[in-house]
């Protein structure tokens, strides 16, 4: 593959990680005004509005047929559909620390799925490095404290299903983005999220008799800023960057970058929210970074040794 394209894919993966890492700060701000489902509805409304503006002004051109839409929609069902739905309802009875530990398994299942469906077989170095990054993430969340007192089996199952959904998306997107345009796939995903989460939020408001509250958060400037970040950058832009990276790199290489999001989130929490930085944050971050590098940078000792023997 073209070296320049691979380099751009890694830049996309890193930029995607930075955006997602900072997104948790804005999620906390947004959740002060709305519940999780409303936040998703607003988030994907902002995403949909942004991509439609780009299309109307000719900045984005689509090359889609109805047959293509039918093929791409199952991808959108996995992410953002099932992933966010399972995660949102799972977090009702599962703590953030517990969810973080469970979701650390995303790259592992991505590796398993990619090996079976894409025939992308990983090396022993990649397997060990992946386990290292996962252990770093689990270590951070475990040291923060895990309270299983109020945890339900159904909540754990829902979060686990969100893990399978994201892993399935990583593999399916790897295949789809090699056949369809990255922006075409991103557009369908955005439209699906917009329709799904707005429908769910509206149904919830009707059931609770709170439809009069729908527009109320828009009068809060900080909420609007948070939703614009989450919708335009942390949904639309990250979907595009992830799809682009998956079109050039193996699924497991892209997936493991999600672990770095925790490192960025810790840094953002310290810089913006004045959160404390503990020793276990640093230890876990080092393990994650080493793991990510190990998955993506192969050792070339054998290759160099082989070349030296040939020259001899």
- pLDDT band for position 46 (cuts 50, 70, 90): very high
Query: Tokens 């075409």 belong to which residue?
Result: 184
Q: What is the pLDDT of residues 124-141, one digit of tens each?
A: 999 999 999 999 999 998
Instruction: Tell me what pLDDT residue 309 has.
Output: 42
Instruction: Tell me what pLDDT residue 94 has.
Output: 82
Alpha-carbon distance of 3 to 202, in angstroms, equals 47
Q: What is the pLDDT of residues 239-250, one digit of tens each?
A: 999 999 999 999
Is residue 140 within 8 Å of 277, Cβ to Cβ? no
Question: What would the DSSP string read from start to end of 236-267?
Answer: IIHHHHHHHHHHHS-HHHHHGGGGHHHHHHHH
Q: Biggest alpha carbon distance in the chain?
A: 81
Q: What percentage of the chain exceeds 70 in pLDDT?
A: 93
Q: What is the pLDDT of residues 164-214, one digit of tens each?
A: 999 999 999 998 998 999 999 999 999 999 999 999 999 999 999 999 989
């Amino acid at each position: 593959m073209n070296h320049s394209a691979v380099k751009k894919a890694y830049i996309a993966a890193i930029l995607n990680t930075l955006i997602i890492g900072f997104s948790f700060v804005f999620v906390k701000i947004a959740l002060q005004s709305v519940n999780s489902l409303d936040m998703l509805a607003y988030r994907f409304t902002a995403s949909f509005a942004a991509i439609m503006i780009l299309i109307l002004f000719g900045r984005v051109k689509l090359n889609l047929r109805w047959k293509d839409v039918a093929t791409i929609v199952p991808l959108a069902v996995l992410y953002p559909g099932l992933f966010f739905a399972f995660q949102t309802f799972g977090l009702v009875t599962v703590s953030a620390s517990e969810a973080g530990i469970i979701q650390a398994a995303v790259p592992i299942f991505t590796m398993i799925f990619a090996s079976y469906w894409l025939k992308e077989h990983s090396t022993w170095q990649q397997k060990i490095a992946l386990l290292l990054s996962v252990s770093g993430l689990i270590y951070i969340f475990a040291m923060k404290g895990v309270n299983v007192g109020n945890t339900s089996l159904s909540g754990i199952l829902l979060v686990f299903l969100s893990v399978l959904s994201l892993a399935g998306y990583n593999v399916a997107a790897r295949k789809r983005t090699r056949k369809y345009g990255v922006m075409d796939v991103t557009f369908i995903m955005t439209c699906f999220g917009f329709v799904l989460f707005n429908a769910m939020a509206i149904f919830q408001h009707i059931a609770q008799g709170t439809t009069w509250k729908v527009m109320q958060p828009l009068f809060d400037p900080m909420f609007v800023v948070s939703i614009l970040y989450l919708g335009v950058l942390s949904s639309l832009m990250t979907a595009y960057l992830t799809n682009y990276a998956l079109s050039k790199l193996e699924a497991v290489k892209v997936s493991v970058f999600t672990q770095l999001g925790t490192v960025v989130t810790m840094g953002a929490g310290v810089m913006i929210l004045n959160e404390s930085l503990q020793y276990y944050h640093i230890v876990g971050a080092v393990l994650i970074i080493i793991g990510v590098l190990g998955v993506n940078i192969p050792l070339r000792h054998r290759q160099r040794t082989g070349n030296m023997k040939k020259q001899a």
